[in-house]
Amino acid sequence: MPPRAPFGRRLAAAIDTYGPLCVGIDPHEELLAAWGLPSAADGVREFALRTVEALRDVVGVVKPQAAFFERFGSPGVAALEETIAACRAAGLLCIVDAKRGDIGSTMGGYASAYVGEDSPLAGDAVTVSPYLGFGSLDPLIEQARATGRGVFVLALTSNPEGAQVQHAREANGTSVAARIAAEAGHRNAAELEAGEPLGSVGLVVGATVGSAPRDLGMDLAAVGGALLAPGLGAQGAGTDEIRRVFAGAEHAVLPSSSREILSAGPTGLAVVAQRVQDGLRDLRRSDGGTSD
């Protein structure tokens, strides 16, 4: 197999081709029932595979939420593995939303599982938690870069509890969120200097956090990686909110929507996804970036 191109390059190409929308694959109880599927591993598998097939050639990126598969044990994990393989076959970049984080050899184990070359759980990128120290992520980041995969680091989430950690400040006044953004930028520097359009290390920043990035001193434009932005649609964020949160870094934003699109059902989700995608077409022009 030829070497995989760096994740940032592949993501930038997908955005150029299809637009910046990422669709979350979140087969929770209510959606399974609405689709007429059982609350079981077989139902989750059917839900995910039908979603992947419907989104082929409509979007470039999808994001299966691992928890909704894992809750059914080994059959659910097998369904996640099959979903990841189906994404690859359909030409969709797959971000596995697993939010893993640990230290030492345990982090190395997660790295092998989610970004290792031969792992069936390895998509194109994985979400991780940095709250054991950003440096604890380095084994996974290094392996992701070696296999042409990406990492999205939780930085500024929309849940109220997140502020206890993310808004906290170091002795010098730097917020935890700003530190995470700066550390991600540091790890992307070499790839950007080599001419890559985006680095392998992105951030997760909620699309509904308003002015918090500026209030907390985050320089999102300097991160150099993609900015995964959950909250588009059902959670209340539209393009105006995205521009407010990511001012100056709109070209790097990957807005994510799940419920608004998945609620359309298996026969309508591609139509809704295309409508949302069309609404995002001019987003990258906002800070002078290119657009289709």
Residue 77: burial class (beta carbons within 10 Å; 0-12, 13-18, 19+): middle
Helix (H, G, I), strand (E, B) or coil at 123: coil
Residue matched to tokens 């987003």: 283
Q: Residue 34 contacts by C-beta under 8 Å, 6 or more apart in sequence?
A: 263, 265
Report the alpha-carbon distance of residue 219 to residue 188 in Å, rounded: 14
Distance of CA 180 to CAs 84, 86, 152, 184, 187, Å? Answer: 28, 33, 11, 6, 11
Distance of CA 67 to CAs 137, 216, 241, 281, Å? Answer: 20, 30, 28, 31
Choose the catalytic residue: 99, 167, 243, 281. Answer: 99
Six-digit token pair at 185? 């930028």
| 63 catalytic per annotation | no
Which DSSP symbol is given to 175?
B
Q: Residue 176 contacts by C-beta under 8 Å, 6 or more apart in sequence?
A: 165, 166, 167, 168, 169, 170
Report the alpha-carbon distance of residue 201 to residue 223 in Å, rounded: 8
Q: What is the DSSP string of 179-236?
A: HHHHHHHHHHHHHHHTT-SS-SEEEEE-TT-TTHHHHTT--GGGT-S-EEEE-BSTTS
Query: Mind telling me the catalytic residues?
Result: 99
